[in-house]
Chain A
Amino acid sequence: MMSNSDGEPVASAKIKVVARDVNVFYSDKHALKAVNLDVRANEVTALIGPSGCGKSTFLRCLNRMNDLIDGARVTGTIAIDQQDIYLKDLDVVQLRARVGMVFQKPNPFPKSIFDNVAYGPRIHGLAGTGAELEEIVVTSLKRAGLFEEVKDRLNEAGTGLSGGQQQRLCIARAIAVSPEVILMDEPCSALDPIATAKVEELIDELRQNYTIIVVTHSMQQAARVSQRTAFFHLGELVEVGDTEQIFTNPNHKLTQGYITGRFG
């Protein structure tokens, strides 16, 4: 039987991502300290904590985005479906297709809506014919809840969309390459409440097919969209648990202090 990071046995939930004793150093700075975390498949896991607590650093470990930062060093093991993603001969481009990412600010390519979504499938050779490619684009836009709004203007620039639409376009782009895990780094912080609600609704639908990890500064967002919540503080994972438990009866004083707004 597997056990979760608290040492309790987990019998029913399927574990998608396992992080063990993960440390991250940026040059001399010890940014992430001995993090153990299990991420369950087809659930939304929210990572919360004050700025500089290591939550985004941890998120970026999961698709090796930290490789791109000079002086960054990652130790420990991270496995997706029991496959170590830090193996030397691992194809990082393939990894990033399996583990998609959506950023804080919507960052569509300066291309048409269609080409934004088609970009990934093209470079990964996922579509044999033009018709197949079109089907991937349409399906991805539908899954991202954007198709109805853009179906008549697929050749217009993605950058011409509203902020909320751009973010959903980025989500469509991420899911076009059929990832297994989607990482989201504050996906709604630049959006208004209506656009935020749409993205949150989308996140909830997407978890049927994907495992989602979302970093957020909004407690309410973590409470609304996630099934599990992990609280980070000063580079350490303080507590992880069912979202309901974290927000009604957290075990750790630091968690309680943070989520109730009592941080000194």
Chain B
Amino acid sequence: MRAPAPGPAVRRGPLVHLLLPLVLAGCAEAPEPVRVFAAASLREAMEDAAAAWDGPVRVTSAGSQVLAHQIAAGAPASVFAPASEAHAEAVAERLDRVRPLACNALVLAVAPSSDVQRFEDLPRASRLVLGTPEVPVGAYAETVLARAAARFGDGWRRRVRARVVSREIDARQVLAKVTMGEADAALVYRTDAAAAGDAVRAVPIPEAIAVRPRYPVAVVSDGPAAADAADFVRWLRAEEGFSHLAEHGFVRCAAGEDDDAAR
């Protein structure tokens, strides 16, 4: 009796043995992770919240505009949390209901040695850095400067403009120029300034001209793990989830607060 000829599976043995565990792992019960696209300024807060949630969450963070471009192009996102409502509106057709997540504030971050004590002293800064008008942090800065001009005069604004040495392309780059000692003042998010610790001193912006950046959140229609994504967003907006954002300085938006997105 002849032994049966070895089938193709036997001849391809080594490869199959290498690949089989990978294939099986892919079929295992591991649930598909919720993929959160979060604004750069939300990164650490969102990562903390993701780690605390009872389920797998992957956080991707970049400038809100970059994330909006990616979502518009069909990137596999489950949840979108940009730094301004305008960026959620830009991709509204790919989102379920957009709801408020958290509010932030803009502060004037100055070098520890700077003699800028109050916001009004801003023209005394020697090198001021802002975001470009296209990114949320830069758009909010433009709103603050416009309101400040109404209060302190156009001359004040002109002197401030003359101090601007760079318009950086995301919120973290703006702050980095001060922490590295290249600039001595920058308009940044309060949360980012707090995270920088002693490297910068945060000078508050007077209430009358302050802006309140609003961070919305929405589940992406047809995104991966849609049911889990809805659960995650509900949890994030409720007491326990929000506490992780609050630890990083984010606050609840007061009801009826007007949208300060400067676009």
Answer yes or no: do A and B interact. no
Question: Which positions in B face A, CB cutoff 8 Å?
Answer: none
